[in-house]
Amino acid sequence: MSDAKQLKHQPVTLNARQRHVVEEAIREVCEYRPYVLRAINARTNHVHTVVTVMQDPEPVLDAFKAYATRALRMTRLLSAKVKPWGRHGSTVYLWKEKDVAKAIEYVMLGQGDDLFRLDDDG
C-alpha cells in the first residue's frame, strides 16, 4: 500500500507561525541535549536541519519530531488528532567539513528544485 493511501488525514502544510514554533522547538532540543545545531529551515511540508551529534541520527530526528509536535499542540496550532510527520526522515552522515558546509548552504540558501547531493563538485 502506498504512503498516500495510509494517510488518516490530509498532509500538514505548516504556515509561518507553525514553522517558527517548529524551529524554536528544535532549538530547545539542541539546548537541552548535547546537540550542536548548525542550520535549520522549516519549510511548509518538511524541515531541514544540520546537527552535530555523537550518536546515531534516528533518536535525534525522533526528539525533533516529538518536541515540535508538543510545541505545536501546546500553542494550539495543531490538533491532537493530527500526526504531522512521516514515519521516516532523511538522515545523512556528513564526515567531512566540506560536506557539512555544503549541507548548511543547502539548508539555508538552496531550497530550490535541486536536491542535495554530496557527490557534486559545484
In this structure, what DSSP letter does residue 119 have?
T
C-alpha cell at 42: 522549516
What span, in angstroms and rounded, lies between the C-alpha atoms of 54 and 47? 21
In this structure, what DSSP letter does residue 52 have?
E
pTM above the 0.85 mark?
Answer: no
Q: Count the neighbouring beta carbons within 10 Å of the beta carbon of residue 72.
A: 21
What span, in angstroms and rounded, lies between the C-alpha atoms of 68 and 115? 24
- Mean pLDDT, consecutive 10-residue stretches, the chain (122 aa), reads 56 91 97 96 93 93 96 95 86 92 90 54 46
Q: Dihedrals φ, ψ of 41, to 5°?
A: -155, 100
Domains of the chain are 10-109 (3.30.70.1290)
Q: In this predicted structure, what is the pLDDT of residue 115?
A: 47
